[in-house]
Amino acid sequence: MPSTSPRDRIHWIARIERRVHAWRERRARRHGRKPTVLVFPGYGGEGWVRVLGRVLIVPPTKRTKSGELASVRGWRSFLGIPVGYSTVRITIGDETHEVVADRGGVIDARIEAKLEPGWQLVRMAVEDGEPGESLVQIVAPGMRHGVVSDVDDTVMVTALPRPLLAAWNSFVLDEHARQPVPGMAVLLGRLTRQQQGLPMVYLSTGAWNVAPTLTRFLNRHLFPAGSLLLTDWGPTHDRWFRSGSDHKATNLRRLAEEFPDVRWLLIGDDGQHDDAIYTAFASEYPQSVAGVAIRRLSPAEAVLAGGRTAVNDHSGASIPWVTADDGAGLAERLEAVGLLDPES
């Protein structure tokens, strides 16, 4: 029986996508445009760091007459041309490492590094371009608590599950028109202030393309700084689109294995599959879950999102599960079960 090559196992749409990107890259280079690296907030522990970024040829940035960034429509976030298999130089402290981006230009690498706990600087450069930089959160060895939060309809009102509305919110809506979920910035801020250096992770099924927009949104609405774990919307070797549920489940398992002593408070909403994902994770890694907080969509949001997912009965769970309509309601319930300090 003839063997099957790795190329034969790649979904045909993924091969087409790669050819389109290659054509766009060649065309951009002929016009003198060069790749750059967008560096995203990562995290690390004692002796290592997970660095995240993406190599892109990006369109020119528009600015206002005062020099500030112009208002950005969502579709502009998807105009960047991913540059696959680029060699990227990563500078952490006094050491430089080289890694190779994947076929979508994404960099997701664990690198040995001795960094002090707290937020530390990482730089990345490709070819002869100017380096990009971002901070990574190094978790102290004695840390015992952390927060993982979904983004869509948990911290940002998006009504993402419904395809047409997802397209509107992702590609059309001005980033300044996006609205935060009431009370969530205050809640997450209180949670992260309970312990200095507490790790904050934003885990979303959103595309890496929107990471700069998401970062500006979080800063604008005073959400606490945190690591970003997004995904690539493109096709994989065996399917048209990546599974958002698999993305979340995989990264939760990774966090549990990288920080076995940390117990995470998991925050999500009932408009996607967060309850089911968190239930499965808590069953698999009970020692890694401090509690779960699920935000209930409003009736209007539930209609726009195509309905709510069923939330299981967790009254008999060994860890606290709380639900409420907004951040203030979740804060009250988290205080009641001892997961939020009333004085924070």
Domain ranges of the chain: 6-138, 145-336
Whether residue 135 is predicted with pLDDT greater than 80 in this model: the reply is yes
CA distance linking residue 75 with residue 186, whole number of Å = 30
DSSP codes joined into one string, 109-159: EEEE----SEEEEEEEEETTSPPEEEEEEEPPTT--EEEEE--BTTTEE--
Least confident stretch, 53-67, 83-97, 128-142: 53-67
CA distance linking residue 145 with residue 191, whole number of Å = 10
Whether residue 161 is predicted with pLDDT greater than 80 in this model: the reply is no
Closest CA to 293 of 311, 309, 307, 305: 311
CA distance linking residue 101 with residue 96, whole number of Å = 16
Least confident stretch, 42-51, 196-205, 315-324, 331-340: 315-324
Q: Give the model's pLDDT for residue 263.
A: 98
Q: Helical H runs in the chain?
A: 6-9, 12-30, 163-167, 184-193, 211-220, 244-258, 274-284, 299-304, 327-336
Q: Give the model's pLDDT for residue 175.
A: 60
* Bridge partners, 338 (sequence order): none
Whether residue 76 is predicted with pLDDT greater than 80 in this model: the reply is no
Q: Give the model's pLDDT for residue 139.
A: 98
> Domain 6-138 is in which class?
mainly beta
Question: Three-class SS of residue 70?
Answer: coil
Is 6-138's fold the same as 145-336's? no
Closest CA to 152 of 308, 311, 323, 269: 269
Whether residue 206 is predicted with pLDDT greater than 90 in this model: the reply is no
Least confident stretch, 48-57, 102-111, 174-183, 309-318: 309-318
pTM, to two decimals: 0.84
Whether residue 306 is predicted with pLDDT greater than 90 in this model: the reply is no
Question: Three-class SS of residue 38?
Answer: strand
Whether residue 154 is predicted with pLDDT greater than 60 in this model: the reply is yes
Confidence of residue 25 (pLDDT cuts 50, 70, 90): confident
Contact of 297 with 153, CB cutoff 8 Å: yes
The CATH number of domain 145-336, selected from 3.90.580.10, 3.40.50.1000, 3.10.129.10, 3.40.50.410: 3.40.50.1000
Q: How many CB atoms lie within 10 A of CB 110?
A: 15
Q: How many CB atoms lie within 10 A of CB 66?
A: 5
Closest CA to 325 of 343, 308, 337: 308
Q: Compute the average pLDDT of residues 196-221.
A: 90
Q: What is the mean pLDDT of the chain?
A: 83
Whether residue 64 is predicted with pLDDT greater than 60 in this model: the reply is no
- Provide the CA 206 distance to its chain's centre, in angstroms: 7
Q: How many CB atoms lie within 10 A of CB 12?
A: 8
Q: Give the model's pLDDT for residue 10.
A: 52
What is the tens place of the pLDDT at every residue in 222-269? Answer: 999 999 999 875 544 444 445 578 999 999 999 999 999 999 999 999
